[in-house]
Amino acid sequence: MAKRAAGKTDNKTLVAERRLLCFLDRIDNAGVGGWALDFDLPAESLTMRVLVDEVIVDVVACELHRDDARLVSLQNSRIGFNYDIPERYHDGMRHMLRFATLDGVDMPMSSRSGAAMAGVNFCLAKPVRIDAVVDGMVDGVIQGWALRVDERAGTKLGGLKILVTYEGQPVAELLADQYRADVAEVLGCEAACGFTFAPPPEMRRRERVSFRFFVLPSRQELQSSPLEILYPEETARERIEGLIKRADELFAFAYHLRRDLKAALPQDRYLLGDYTRWAADSLPLALPRARARYGEVKGTPLVSVVCPVYRPEIGAFLAAVDSVRGQSYPHWELLLVDDASGDAALSKAMQALAAKDVRIRLLPQKKNGGIARATNAGIKAAGGAFVAFFDHDDLLEPGALEIMLRAQAATGAKLLYSDEDKVERGGGLCEPHFKPDFNYRFLLDVNYICHFVLLDAAVLRKVGGLDAALDGAQDHDLLLRLCEILRPEEIHHVAEVLYHWRKSGGSTAAAGSGAKPKAAVAGAAAVAAHLARRGLPARVEGRGGLTCYRTGWEISAAQRKKAGVSILIPFRDHVEMTLECVTAIRRHTKGVPFEIILLDNWSTSPEAEKFAAEQANLPQTKVLRIAEPFNYSRINNIGARAAVHGFLLLLNNDVFVSDDTWLQVMLDECLADAQVGAVGAKLLYPGGAVQHAGVVLGVGGVADHAFRGIPGDAPGYVMHAMAAQEISAVTGACMLVRREAFEAVGGLDERDLTIAFNDIDLCVKLTQGGWKIIFMPDAVAEHRESMSRGDDLDPVKIARFMYENEVMRQRYPAQLPFDPYYSRHFSREGGVYRELRVLRPEDC
């Protein structure tokens, strides 16, 4: 319903509902037609204002007879109208037409589709001739005029759009509608055909500039274009401009120089496949690094190392015990829980070990109960302030306990875990697992913590030990229950390889999840039970038989409807690609209310004008024209201000969706956790290889994509490419952002980060504001990267890139070098998850 002013009392305006409707049943190239009615005054025929582009251009009387008026029992059948769009708007440009009552109340509009309409968008063109001239510089501004000449109709009309470019880039968009009596007198045309252009200040400071002028959308160049302007020389300005130019040259030079120097510098490189050599050089430095990073152990707390034993290979078992006895920290007890192995030689060996070292205690079980029950027996007998879990054939690094206790003293953590690797039968080390700092969302999908774990004994007893019903995933279940009572800051990752997991014939370490097929089923059950206890309904399914799970949140349709998503898509021309993008969205977006906001950044082609008009007429679609030089941050900030929903999706026009749940799974991540500020999708190249599976900070200077180039269905390094997880940043090519969070951090940086790194900056700001960033691998789309814009490696763009690179390095000196979700042992130069580096104690 529309509103109208009904009168005034005590200087306050009373507003009453006014029942109005304008129904369109004809929309064609000539104009529009239909009927309009004020339901409160049904006997009267309306007269309406006609507005084009929010300018009143005419009035139309609704006095035509309509037979269908009788269908709604109206006494007055003279409610119809037809309106032909004036010739001046047959210019190939996009316009919007709407109606209002004579007293200025907006007419609600509808059509045969049944959808409410803000107006009718149209783009009309007819054969005409363009006469247009740039007169030159007059009183400090450039003047000219432009006419659309229709010989058949005998009209010469102004109002054309003029595009001004400098060195091939748009700098202004003008409307030729200023009064030019001199042109009208000579040509016998409409006087409103002139334009003026004041070059921007930065252009006026140049000695010589050349501007080109084009009529839109045909891009016909005006007579006397290009126009070259010479400005007075000023020594100071020239000196500053020279310095700026020199700085740009230095940025470009530095970019190439750094790359060449890195390539020429002889250095030890450790590829991930060369882990054995890295381990030999780096593991001996683990304890010195910990001493430098954490400081001293507080007191001499006893650590109870609980080791369930069941028929290990005797040699591996003895090596395991030796690794405990060889610890640099002496205050420990080793609880060997013999789970009714029935092996006389093993029993004899354990008795001999206990007799030799009073810190070794034997706990023989009368009946085999499985790993969980055996571990619980050890926990019950433990006398230490801390409990550590240890398998019967694995190995500890000599400084493992000391390093964990130093970290505990420094952080106050109740649960600590380290990195780990695997040990071959011959003793060689391989397959390192360098873990992220605590990552609850990742832990739901994968038990990435695994070994080595040190726990506060009181906390362990509070959660009740291991659940025997979940053997195979008993440790995953325990960790999830601990997460229910511990704060995230009470869980600490010790980024050192302290545990060597033995690869034996029947171990998970040797054969993956296939060696223990029940583990995957038990793990899914453990995650589901944990979420149920937290009151978070979800479906938990295995991924391809691996001990990796897909957690699908059960969010109600009402919750999704209340949230809604505004999809922001910048584009400049590239009409076919953008149409394919939005068509795929409409076809494949199910279960989520959404609107599409197309951000037209100075498109100049006739096809773009027609496309924009057509799109603007579609339901839940807006088209905003932003006639400014390309500034990704500003374009999206403008779009965000026009959005109506609680979530914003930043989307490139070269991203194409094909799964009906793509947006739903992204939105569900936000609705399941109020602290999630942004969610990123997995993006694939057209050939199916990964283009984006999260972003890692610090690699290559500022940031780099993870897993670029691997197969789209590959798990990646320790399942990071296939599991949902908290992460430091995701690409803005397809990023869902909570609007509240976006506004709280000031949106995208449109001052210093106009092109590059603005999405990374946004993510870091969100993280600093207490919001979480999630990578969601189940939202998959195709990304035809670099089709939206050109190559970024010409000298000018290199200079811009280096400037924005330096902005990020200075803005985040602490965040970029140490991404909490990416091990510090990975090199920052050799790509993501590819190359290792040896850190010295002074680096910590």
Distance of CA 635 to the CA centre of its chain: 16
What is the DSSP pairing of strand 208-216 with strand 155-157?
unpaired
Q: Would you list the DSSP string of 710-760? A: SBTT---GGGTTTS-EE-SB--TTEEEEEHHHHHHTTSS-TTT-SSSSHHH
Three-state SS string across 616-650, please? HCCCCEEEEECCCCCCHHHHHHHHHHHCCCCEEEE
pLDDT at res. 790: 40
What is the DSSP pairing of strand 676-684 with strand 655-657?
unpaired
pLDDT tens digits, 211-221 = 999 999 889 99
d(CA 360, CA 354): 5
> What's the token pair of residue 784?
């035809």
Find the helix or strand (DSSP H, E) in which 657 lies.
strand 655-657
pLDDT tens digits, 713-760 = 999 999 999 999 999 999 999 999 999 999 999 999 999 999 999 999
- Return the biggest CA–CA distance within the chain: 117
Q: pLDDT-derived band of residue 798, with 50, 70 and 90 as boundaries?
A: confident
d(CA 654, CA 659): 16
Give CB contacts under 8 A, 24+ apart, made by 26-29.
26/82, 27/111, 27/120, 27/122, 29/124
| Of residues 379, 387, 389, 333, the one with CA closest to residue 357 | 333
Contact 433, 276 (CB under 8 A): no
Q: What is the pTM of this model?
A: 0.85
pLDDT tens digits, 642-667 = 999 999 999 999 999 999 999 999 99
> What's the token pair of residue 761?
């900056």
d(CA 383, CA 361): 11
Q: At what angle do helices 758-768 and 795-811 cross, to 10 degrees?
A: 10
pLDDT tens digits, 72-117 = 667 788 999 999 999 888 888 899 999 999 888 999 999 988 888 8
Rounded percentage of the chain residues whose pLDDT exceeds 70: 91
Contact 725, 742 (CB under 8 A): no
| Of residues 789, 574, 600, the one with CA closest to residue 173 | 600
DSSP helix/strand/coil, 529: helix
d(CA 832, CA 697): 10
Alpha-helical segments (H) within 500-647: 508-511, 517-533, 557-563, 575-588, 606-616, 632-642
Tell me the residue length of the chain.
844
Contact 96, 52 (CB under 8 A): yes
